[in-house]
């Protein structure tokens, strides 16, 4: 199979891909204006009046927006190259840079040989100046690995290229793209499999109907089982919660609805087929886990965007429940806005994992320390052929053979028992789902063995609860001492829970210099600080505040009111988890104290 050769405009790109707008007034009955001026869905951030109109439109699409930012249709125009044909909802605001990135990332590279239907994932950086999206309630309750992105979008792509004699080029080429801040890879690709084939037949009216259905979905709520109707079927999913036991199987809520048709149960909204992603690198899994844990610059080169994007996402998930805090691009092209930033040779490569298909990158990334070149899966008897570790100096030609090109030496030894178990599973034709479950359990236990000593030490830095009193500022979390932590490993290190041997201390020391440690520490420190704030609020609530005010001056009482009100506002803004009734009780106390002050002072305090 081969892909059509691209025109120069498509292969190496004009500065901006084209934008093709739907005819004015096409969509009706969905709450959208139908005048030509208002119908342009790609008008940047626009004037204040248009911004206000957009805000009204988006509030009308609040449920849709809790799942998706927008849906894009990208087509290939013979004269213009890739072009956005449609954005829905139409009033969503994308910058020129975002539109350009979506256009180029929605089509496979010409080297990929993608005939038929292809699904893959990309991730792009939001433009500077875009209002930061905040969803503190969802992110508070969701696992850190499934939190909503604040600075990036995911693009979930269903691309079709088939012969069509009615087209000038002889081929139909179009992508349906779901743009979201949520890392629900399995859910959104399952949704695409349901809607995309029918969309390519019925086009815009069908897409409008689907978007209206999504706008009826309940919002994603961690811990909840949801039924999501779409084009005559129902997808039943469970949104994971941070209170779920890692690696466990949470019990689904039993719904009393008699759903017709019976729902299709999705066992996961985000997990990938790890065995399929890693089958040619199984014997090097330990190395890839360490490189991901340490946030090392890493390039995954595969024959197709499906292969590279799934492998990148599998690597990022391999250190779960630890959040991967570096940048990662499941599918990256030479047209990407960050291409120059990531390929400059004047500074060290950034902490990023890139998935690519263009062989041009072999030459471009010669100064990168770790490159994984994947080929088509080849069998050696019953087993998938395993790639070899090779010297970076071998990475010089465009026809570089599959392999892991690195000088990296692992800190830990390989788990030979795991490798034998997986290889035996292949010989016995064990299902891929079962192989993936074995892999996922192994990676989870490995990451937990690494992270538990850190969690245990971090907990020791928390002040005792009895040191939290209503009359003093909450105590602070003690500073993290790397050397103090290292000294605890002899008695409470990973050897208590893991059979793997090796230089665990060396691995920790390198981890301390990685963005993943910085992200983990900031998150834990923030959670502990908020816990102290919650305990402080509860202690204030239990104190005899009225008794304290009896012999205090007006100035001191006003000062207390202002401080308590500030803590109350902060607690509600951060959605601090406190005992039921605490915030309402403090609110009532503040109002009571304001009422006890002279009447001329009360309006001043009530307006603050």
Query: In the 3-class helix/strand/coil scheme, how is 329-370 assigned residue by residue?
Result: ECCCCCCCCCHHHHHCCCCCCCCEEEEECCCHHHHHCCCCCE
pLDDT greater than 50 at residue 389: yes
- In what helix (H) or strand (E) does residue 236 lie, and over which residues does it extend? strand 233-238
First to last CA, the chain: 69
Dihedral sign for Cα 251, 256, 258, 260, please.
Answer: negative
pLDDT of residue 190: 96
User: Rounded to whole angstroms, how far apart are CA atoms 541 and 535?
Assistant: 10
Burial letters 141-175, b for 16+ CB under 10 A, else e: bbbbbbbbbeeebbbbbbbbbeeeeeeeeebebbb
Identify the weakest region by mean pLDDT among 547-551, 571-575, 578-582.
547-551
Q: CA distances (Å), 63 to each of 39, 51, 228, 239, in order?
A: 22, 20, 12, 16
pLDDT at 41 over 70: no
When pLDDT is averaged across residues 234-238 and rounded to a whole number, the result is 95
Residues 142-154 have pLDDT tens digits of 999 999 999 999 9
Mean pLDDT, rounded, for 496-504: 90
Residue 393: predicted pLDDT: 81
Query: What pLDDT score does 210 carry?
Result: 95
- Token duo for residue 504: 């665990």
Higher local confidence (pLDDT), 407 or 576: 407
Helix-, strand-, coil-residue percentages of the chain, each rounded to 5: 45, 15, 40
Task: Band the pLDDT of 499: cuts 50, 70, 90.
Answer: confident
Q: With 70 as the cut, is the pLDDT of residue 255 above it?
A: no
Q: Which of the listed CATH numbers 3.10.20.30, 3.40.50.620, 3.30.450.200, 3.30.1280.10 matches domain 64-218? A: 3.30.450.200
Name the band, by pLDDT with cuts 50, 70 and 90, for residue 43. Answer: very low
For residue 226, pLDDT beyond 90: yes
Q: How far is CA 264 from the centre of its chain?
A: 24
* CATH class label, 281-514: alpha beta
The torsion region of residue 202 among left (phi > 0), alpha (psi -120 to 50) and beta comes to: alpha
Split at pLDDT 50, 70, 90, the class of 90 is: confident
Query: How far apart (Å, rounded) are the C-alpha atoms in residues 520 and 518?
Result: 6
Residues 6+ apart with CB under 8 A from 534: 571, 576, 577, 578
Q: Which residue has the higher pLDDT, 361 or 102?
A: 102
pLDDT digits (tens, 9 = 90+) for 414-473: 999 999 999 899 888 899 999 999 999 999 999 999 999 999 999 999 999 888 888 888
Instruction: Output the CA–CA distances (angstroms, integers) from residue 71 to 99, 175, 176, 260, in the order listed.
Output: 12, 11, 7, 27
What is the residue extent of each domain of the chain?
A: 64-218, 281-514, 515-606
Q: From CA 592, how far away is CA 598, in angstroms rounded?
A: 12
Mean pLDDT, residues 249-272: 73
Q: Each residue of 471-491: b (16+ CB within 10 Å) or e?
A: eeebeebeebeeeebbeebee
Higher local confidence (pLDDT), 308 or 251: 308
Backbone CA torsion sign across 590, 595, 598, 603:
positive
pLDDT of residue 488: 94
The phi and psi torsions of 234 (rounded to 5 degrees) equal: -130, 125
**Strand 81-88, strand 70-77: pairing:** antiparallel
- Give residue 254's pLDDT: 53
Mean pLDDT of 295-324: 96
Q: How many CB atoms lie within 10 A of CB 386?
A: 16
pLDDT band at 258 (very low <50, low <70, confident <90, very high): low
pLDDT at position 399? 65
- Whether 81 and 89 have beta carbons less than 8 Å apart is answered as no
SS3 for 151?
A: coil
Could you tell me if residue 81 is left (phi over 0), alpha (psi between -120 and 50 degrees) or otherwise beta? Answer: left
Spatial separation of the C-alpha atoms in residues 282 and 285, rounded to whole Å: 5
Radius of gyration over every alpha carbon of the chain, rounded to an integer in angstroms: 27
Per-residue pLDDT band for 54 (boundaries 50, 70, 90) equals very low
Q: Which of 22-31, 291-300, 329-338, 365-374 has the highest mean pLDDT?
A: 291-300
Out of 49-63, 156-170, 583-597, least confident range: 49-63
Answer yes or no: is pLDDT of 22 > 70: no
pLDDT at 3 over 50: no
Q: What is the mean pLDDT of residues 132-138?
A: 70
| pLDDT value at residue 249 | 60
pLDDT band for position 248 (cuts 50, 70, 90) = low
**Better pLDDT: 227 or 253:** 227
> 64-218 and 281-514: same fold?
no
Q: Cα separation of 85 and 474, whole Å? A: 56
Give counts: helices (H), strands (E), the chain.
22, 17
Least confident of 188-197, 289-298, 467-476: 467-476
Query: Which pTM does this prediction carry?
Result: 0.84
In terms of Cα–Cα distance, which of 266, 230, 218 is closest to 64?
A: 218
**Residue range 526-546: mean pLDDT, rounded:** 88
374-399: average pLDDT: 80
Query: In this structure, are residues 2 and 171 in contact, taking their beta carbons and an 8 Å threshold?
Result: no
Confidence of residue 128 (pLDDT cuts 50, 70, 90): confident
**151-155, 166-170, 374-378, 381-385: range with highest mean pLDDT:** 151-155
* 8 A C-beta contact, residue 204 and residue 26: yes
Beta strands in 358-412 (DSSP E): 370-373, 379-380, 383-384, 389-390, 403-406
pLDDT > 70 in the chain, percent = 84
Residue showing tokens 């990332």: 105
Q: Vertex 451, ends 447 and 452: CA angle to 5°?
A: 115
At residue 251 the predicted structure's pLDDT band, cuts being 50, 70 and 90, is: low
Q: Is residue 42 over pLDDT 50? A: no
**The pLDDT value given to residue 113:** 63
> Quick check: 354 and 343 in contact, CB under 8 A?
no
DSSP 223: T
If one counts every other C-beta atom within 10 angstroms of the C-beta of residue 411, the result is 21
């Amino acid at each position: 199979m081969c892909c059509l050769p691209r025109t120069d405009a498509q292969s190496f790109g004009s500065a901006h891909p084209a934008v093709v707008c739907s005819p004015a007034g096409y969509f009706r009955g969905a709450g959208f204006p139908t005048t030509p001026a208002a119908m342009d869905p790609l008008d940047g951030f626009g004037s204040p009046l248009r911004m206000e109109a957009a805000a009204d439109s988006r509030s009308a699409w609040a449920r849709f927006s809790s799942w998706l930012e927008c849906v894009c249709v990208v087509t290939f125009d013979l004269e213009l190259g890739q072009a956005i044909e449609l954005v829905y909802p139409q009033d969503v605001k994308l910058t020129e840079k975002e539109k350009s990135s979506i256009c180029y990332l929605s089509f496979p590279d010409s080297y990929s040989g993608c005939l038929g239907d292809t699904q893959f994932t990309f991730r792009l950086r939001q433009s500077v100046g875009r209002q930061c999206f905040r969803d503190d309630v969802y992110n508070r309750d969701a696992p850190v690995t499934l939190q909503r992105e604040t600075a990036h979008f995911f693009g979930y792509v269903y691309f079709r290229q088939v012969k069509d004699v009615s087209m000038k080029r002889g081929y139909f080429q179009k992508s349906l793209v779901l743009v979201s801040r949520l890392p629900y890879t399995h859910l959104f690709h399952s949704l695409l499999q349901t809607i995309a084939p029918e969309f390519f037949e019925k086009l815009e009216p069908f897409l409008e109907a689907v978007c209206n259905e999504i706008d009826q979905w309940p919002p994603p709520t961690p811990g909840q089982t949801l039924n999501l109707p779409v084009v005559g079927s129902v997808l039943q999913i469970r949104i994971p919660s941070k209170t779920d036991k890692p690696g466990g199987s949470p019990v689904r809520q039993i719904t009393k609805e008699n759903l017709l048709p019976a729902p299709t149960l999705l066992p996961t909204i985000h997990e990938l087929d790890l065995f399929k992603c890693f089958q040619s690198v199984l014997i090097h899994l330990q190395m890839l886990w360490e490189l991901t844990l340490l946030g090392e610059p890493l390039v995954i080169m595969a024959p197709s965007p499906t292969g590279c994007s799934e492998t990148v996402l599998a690597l990022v998930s391999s250190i779960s429940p630890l959040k991967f805090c570096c940048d990662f691009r499941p599918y990256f092209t030479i047209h990407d806005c960050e291409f120059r930033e990531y390929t400059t040779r004047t500074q060290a490569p950034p902490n990023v994992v890139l998935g690519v298909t263009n062989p041009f990158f072999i030459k471009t990334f010669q100064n990168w320390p770790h490159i994984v070149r994947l080929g088509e899966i080849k069998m050696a008897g019953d087993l998938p052929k395993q790639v070899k570790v090779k010297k970076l100096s071998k990475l010089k030609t465009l026809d570089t053979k599959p392999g892991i090109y690195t000088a990296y030496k692992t800190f830990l030894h390989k788990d030979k028992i795991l490798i034998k178990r997986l290889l035996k599973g292949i010989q016995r034709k064990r299902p891929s789902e079962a192989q993936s479950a074995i892999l996922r359990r192994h990676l989870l236990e490995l990451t937990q063995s690494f992270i538990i000593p850190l969690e245990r030490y971090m907990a020791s830095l928390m002040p005792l609860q009895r040191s939290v009193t209503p009359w003093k500022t909450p105590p602070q979390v003690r500073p993290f001492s790397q050397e103090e932590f290292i000294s605890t490993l002899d008695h409470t290190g990973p050897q208590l829970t893991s059979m793997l041997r090796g230089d665990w201390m060396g691995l920790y020391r390198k981890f301390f210099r990685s963005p993943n440690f910085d992200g983990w520490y900031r998150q834990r420190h923030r959670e502990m600080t908020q816990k102290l704030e919650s305990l402080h609020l509860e202690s204030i609530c239990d104190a005899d505040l009225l008794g304290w005010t009896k012999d205090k001056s007006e100035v001191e009482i006003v000062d207390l009111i202002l401080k308590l009100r500030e803590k109350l506002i902060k607690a509600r803004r951060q959605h601090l988890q406190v005992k039921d009734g605490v915030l309402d009780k403090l609110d009532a106390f503040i109002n009571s104290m304001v009422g006890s002050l002279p009447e001329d002072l009360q309006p001043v305090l009530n307006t603050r």
